[in-house]
Structure 1
Amino acid sequence: MALPPEFHDIAKRVNNWGRWGEADEIGTLNLITDGVVRSAAATVRTGRRVPLALPLQQDGVQTGLIPGRVNPLHTMIAVNLEIFGSGTVATSDDAVTMALQAATHWDGLTHVSHSGKIYNGRPAGSVTAHGRAAFSGIEKARHIVSRGVLLDVARAHATDSRWPAALTGGHAVTPEDLEAAEELAGTAVRSGDIVLVRTGQMRKYLAGDKQGYAFPSPGLSIRCPEWFHARDAAAVANDTLTFEIFPPEIDDLWLPVHALDLVEMGMLQGQNWNLEELSEACADEGRYEFLLSAMPEPFVGGTGTPVAPVAIL
């Protein structure tokens, strides 16, 4: 089924192709300037560090719904091996087989395509089995450090602020939800920010309900890309498996937010981020901005990457 006119109308309004030149391969990460990073560093007051990544383990978040997206398989390939002879120093080594988008990760700009194109108007065929992503491989996103802003939509929806509720599975996060979370945060999203949207869905996975975490899931509405585009957000991540609402809010329109964010805007998006401890930390300190380090693993030609983000308050 062809993408509907509604999708193409939004795509025209958020399109960033050529904004940073025809050779650009990093999209909205261009908005993270030296000045933005200096301002981000000024948000550090206590030095409190909050990790946001899930453990990399075989019993991870992937359910088998997406072919080939395997949870990490960790194998020991050497155990106390005295490679230089008996009585010498021994080494232990291990190896991992995993999908790059298996756990807490960034989706690269080549992760999806639509209408035969990837970001900046390049052909989708530039991603090949043996050559990988010829353009906008995840290694091009060399440094992702900026001001992070937690938009705790679940807490903003809670009737009792002491108990940050989780959104229901059928909840499409709207721009109005984001603005309510901005009001709670006491700060506005600005150019170069990395926005973290908390739905509370991660609680299901942490409680052992992997299937319930995956489906149905709250997530971003097709209306959200315009909101992020208007504010010049550098990247967005949330605490769900699919990032956008799943099943989709528009029948038979699958992954439209992915296509708008990655292909049209050139904006990285992150999934499976554990925002529960951060939610508590921000509420404790009464502020929702922080220095965020979310460096990608530089897999050459990769369409995504595992990431171990840290918020520093």
Structure 2
Amino acid sequence: MPLPTAFHDIAARVNNWGRWGPDDELGTLNLITDEVVRAAAACVRTGLRIPLALPLRRQMVQTGAIPGRIDPLHVMVQVNQELFGPGTVACNDDAVTMGLQAGTHWDALAHVSRSGLLYNGRPAGTVTAHDGAAFAGIGTVRHLVSRGVLLDVARAHGTDRLEGGHAVTPEDLEAAEELAGTRVRAGDIVLVRTGQIRLCLDGDRQGYAHPSPGLSIRTPEWFHARDVAAVAGDTLTFEIFPPEIPGLWLPVHALHLVEMGMPQGQNWDLEKLSTACGETGRYAFLLSATPEPFTGGTGAPVAPVAVL
């Protein structure tokens, strides 16, 4: 099914190809300058540190709907093993098998292609079964620290959790911005809270998956106008699911990752952060969120920490 004209029109308006040069692999992360990070550090008032990652364990987020994206399978490979003979120091080692996008993670720009092209017009064929992503893989992101801003859309609607099927609009983002008392600015990492992850934390994995609230196809232009560096949310699909436009699957993924070159994150636990921001009245903070540097990866786990 061809992409509708409305999608192509938005894509043309938000496209960043060539903005940072023909060989650029970082996209909007280029907006996080030294000055942006210095300003982000000034957000720290109390030193309160809030983890934003889900625990990595079996039967956490994944439901089997996405082939191969499995929750972590953790095994011990050494248990109190005296490697150098009896009476020597004993070691415990473990191993894990998991989908790189299974838990709290960032999607790399190479995660999605459109019409045979990745971000910056590179061929989708640069992602191969043997080597993974040769261009714009997650391994190119070696540091990711900036000012984070929580846009608590659920609280702005006067609820703990948006219902499935709620499309988060630019108007919703601006209402959450007003609640936060701060304006999203260039180089920020925006965290969009719907409260949907509360279902997952309560053990309702199927309810967490479908249907899901999420970003509307109208929001990429809002993020583009603000020069946002990256966006993360607290849902499995990131954007509204099922889609707003029947048959148009994952359009926000394509607009963010392919056209804008803007990383996006899923399955972030924003509940404790929401409480802390509400209690302090401060919704901007220093955010450390560097992904694991898997060479060739199209995504990677992250253990983000907000510092207020």
TM-score range, shorter chain: over 0.9
Does residue 87 (structure 1) correspond to residue 82 (structure 2)? The answer is no
Q: Distance in 1 between matches of 2:23 and 2:125?
A: 17
| 1:301 counterpart = 2:296 | yes
Residue number in structure 2 paired with 1:250:
245
Alpha-carbon shift at residue 294 of structure 1 (Å): 0.2
Match of 1:31 in 2: 31
Q: Distance in 2 between matches of 1:131 and 1:302?
A: 9
After the TM superposition, which parts of structure 1 deviate over 2 Å for at least 4 consecutive aligned residues? none
Q: Deviations over 1:183-205 (max 9, x none)?
A: 00000100000000000101111
CA deviations 1:28-64 (Å, max 9, x no partner) are 0000000000000000000000000000001110000
Per-residue deviation at 1:4? 1.0
AA paired with 2:205? Answer: K
Quote how far apart the aligned CAs of 1:165 are.
2.1
| Cα drift, residue 252 of structure 1 | 0.4
Q: 1:2 Cα shift? A: 1.4
| Rounded Cα–Cα distance in structure 1 between residues aligned with 2:120 and 2:60 | 34
The residue number in structure 1 matching 2:55 is: 55
- 1:18 Cα deviation (Å)? 0.2
- CA-based RMSD: 0.5
Counterpart amino acid of 1:229? Answer: H
Corresponding position of 1:271:
266
CA distance in 2, matches of 1:208, 1:60: 8
Distance 1:38 1:311 in 2: 15
Distance 2:11 2:142 in 1: 27
| Structure 1 letter corresponding to 2:178 | E
The answer to whether the 8 A contact 2:60-2:200 is kept is: no
- Aligned 1:97-136 pairs, distance under 5 A: 97-136=97-136
In the TM superposition, residue 137 of structure 1 has moved relative to its aligned partner by 1.2
TM-score (norm 1): 0.98
**Number of residue pairs aligned between Structure 1 and Structure 2:** 308
Tell me the residue number matched to 1:15: 15
> 1:68-117, CA deviations, whole angstroms, 9 ceiling, x for partnerless residues?
00000000001011110011111010000000000000000000101000
Alignment counterpart, residue 233 of structure 2, candidates 222, 232, 238 = 238
Q: CA deviation at 1:131?
A: 1.7
Aligned to 1:201: 196
What's the offset of the Cα at 1:276? 0.4
- 1:211 maps to what in 2? 206
SS at match of 2:306: strand
Q: Secondary structure at the match of 2:111?
A: coil
Q: Given the alignment, which residue of 287, 292, 296 partners 1:292?
A: 287
Code of the aligned partner of 1:143: H
1:311 aligns with 2:306: yes
How far apart in 2 are the matches of 1:261 and 1:60? 26
Counterpart among 215, 223, 236 of residue 218 in structure 2: 223
Alpha-carbon distance, 1:207 to partner: 1.1
Alignment partner of 1:4 is 2:4: yes
Rounded Cα–Cα distance in structure 2 between residues aligned with 1:238 and 1:182: 15
- Cα distance between partner residues in 2 of 1:125 and 1:55: 34
In structure 2, the residue matched to 1:141 is 141
Q: Give the share of equivalent positions with the same residue, in percent.
A: 76
State whether structure 2 residue 102 is matched by structure 1 residue 76. no
Amino acid corresponding to residue 129 of structure 1 in structure 2: A
Q: Which residue of 2 aligns with 1:260?
A: 255
Q: Which runs of 5+ in 1 are unaligned?
A: 159-163
Q: Distance in 1 between matches of 2:94 and 2:199?
A: 30
For residues 284-303 of structure 1, the C-alpha deviation after alignment (integer angstroms, 9 at most, x for no partner) is 10110000000110000100
- Determine the C-alpha separation between the residues in 2 that align with 1:133 and 1:202: 29
The corresponding residue for 1:176 is 171
